[in-house]
């Protein structure tokens, strides 16, 4: 996309992030007439926060956010913003958008581990170390059934990739409606019709009062013997104690990227379970170039007075 170079009044953007300088460098090239300040610590943001019209950030201290008296648009770098949707420090009149760039990356994460297990790569890694030549018949993703909880910008891309692999896709959405990428769409009240049918269950849900512990003991016990469970959304959408109990019975395997408390405590029983893969919330890392691409497209709409893309619905929570 070309540079945005409007000959209009200068708007003021504050970037608050540990990598703020990287974002600043990209956006200065892309939007040269935008007044940009970058801060990675509250004391760096203090001199500019009261004048900022736009904030590009995610986690920002409430005390700092309350000082943004001229703020008109909060552009979040994250897909999940449960800490902000009901936060009184972010007034209702401020436009609030989220990032939707994570679908491709998170789909890659899911299918990396699906193929790892389906094609028995763990066995061949072990065989290589032990100098064993023992081919076995591989599994296939084609013909398998995947359930996806949450059909937003992430879940839809995972569904698309699943269809490309020849899989049957069942989806769960707050308000069920037909979707091109999904064979059957259900509401949350129909989990008992979805979970027993799937070989792979991917939880890509935002955290809201309705999704907290959506998967508890009752729901987890519905999973097929040998099924794979992914959690790439928010840790508290799954009851971790109930999950540990199920995993100890070795009925399923789990690939967990998010947890009820992060960082995951060194005392957590999850670390010691052989049928669990743990990653440190890396399935969807924000890449500055991609975040900035999306921001620039929305900024161009903002200066034209057009509706912004990817608005956060504060009532729904995402």
- Residue range(s) of every CATH 3.40.50.720 domain in the chain: 12-101+286-304, 103-278
* pLDDT for the residue numbered 138: 93
pTM reported for the whole predicted model:
0.94
299-308 pLDDT per residue, tens: 999 999 999 9
54-88 pLDDT per residue, tens: 999 999 999 999 999 999 999 999 999 999 999 99
* pLDDT for the residue numbered 9: 57
Instruction: Establish whether the linkage from the previous residue to 52 is cis, with ω within 30° of 0.
Output: no
193-232 pLDDT per residue, tens: 999 999 999 999 999 999 999 999 999 999 999 999 999 9
* pLDDT for the residue numbered 286: 86
Q: Which residues are catalytic?
A: 234, 262, 281
* pLDDT for the residue numbered 64: 98
Mean confidence (pLDDT) of the chain: 96
Q: What are phi and psi of 244, to 5 degrees?
A: -60, -40
State the Cα–Cα distance between residues 147 and 197, nearest whole angstrom: 8
* Domain 103-278 top-level CATH class: alpha beta
State the Cα–Cα distance between residues 142 and 118, nearest whole angstrom: 11
* pLDDT for the residue numbered 6: 41
Pairing of strands 73-76, 12-16: unpaired
Q: Is the dihedral of CA 47, 49, 53, 59 positive or negative?
A: positive
The encoded tokens of residue 114 equal 């699906």
Q: Is the pLDDT of residue 8 over 80?
A: no
Q: Is the pLDDT of residue 1 over 60?
A: no
Q: Is 55 exposed, middle or buried (0-12, 13-18, 19+ CB in 10 A)?
A: buried
What CATH code would you report for 12-101+286-304?
3.40.50.720
* pLDDT for the residue numbered 3: 45
* Mean pLDDT for the stretch of residues 265-294: 97
* pLDDT for the residue numbered 10: 85
The encoded tokens of residue 19 equal 């990598």
State the Cα–Cα distance between residues 91 and 7, nearest whole angstrom: 30
Q: Is the pLDDT of residue 295 over 80?
A: yes
* pLDDT for the residue numbered 187: 98
How many CA atoms are closer than 13 Å to the CA of 10, on its beta-carbon side?
Answer: 11
* pLDDT for the residue numbered 5: 45
Residue showing tokens 């987890």: 220
């Amino acid at each position: 996309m070309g540079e945005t170079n409007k000959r209009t009044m200068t708007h003021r953007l504050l970037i608050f992030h540990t990598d703020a300088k990287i974002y600043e460098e990209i956006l200065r090239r892309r939007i040269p007439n935008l007044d940009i300040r970058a801060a990675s610590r509250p004391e760096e943001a203090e001199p500019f926060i009261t004048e900022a019209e736009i904030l590009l950030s995610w986690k920002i201290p409430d005390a700092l956010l309350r000082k943004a008296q001229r703020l008109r648009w909060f552009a979040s770098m994250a897909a999940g913003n449960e800490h902000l949707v009901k936060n009184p420090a972010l007034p209702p009149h401020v436009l609030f958008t989220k990032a939707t760039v994570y679908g491709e990356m998170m789909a890659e994460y899911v299918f990396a581990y699906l193929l790892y297990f389906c094609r028995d790569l763990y066995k061949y890694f072990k065989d290589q170390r032990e100098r064993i030549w023992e081919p076995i018949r591989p599994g296939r993703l084609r013909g398998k059934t995947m359930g996806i909880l949450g059909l937003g910008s992430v879940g839809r891309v995972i569904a698309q990739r699943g269809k490309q692999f020849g899989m049957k896709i069942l989806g769960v959405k707050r308000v069920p409606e037909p979707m091109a990428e999904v064979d059957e769409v259900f509401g949350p009240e129909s989990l008992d019709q979805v979970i027993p049918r799937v070989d792979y269950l991917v939880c890509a849900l935002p955290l809201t009062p309705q999704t907290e512990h959506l998967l508890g003991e009752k729901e987890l016990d519905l999973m097929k013997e040998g099924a794979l469970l992914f959690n790439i959304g928010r840790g508290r959408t799954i009851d971790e104690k109930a999950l540990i109990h199920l995993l100890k019975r070795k009925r399923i395997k789990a690939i967990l990227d998010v947890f009820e408390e992060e960082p995951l405590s060194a005392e957590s029983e999850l670390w010691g379970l052989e049928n669990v893969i743990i990653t440190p919330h890396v399935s969807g890392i924000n890449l500055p170039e991609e975040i900035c691409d999306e921001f620039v497209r929305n900024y161009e709409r903002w200066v034209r007075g057009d509706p912004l893309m990817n608005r956060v619905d504060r009532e729904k929570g995402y």
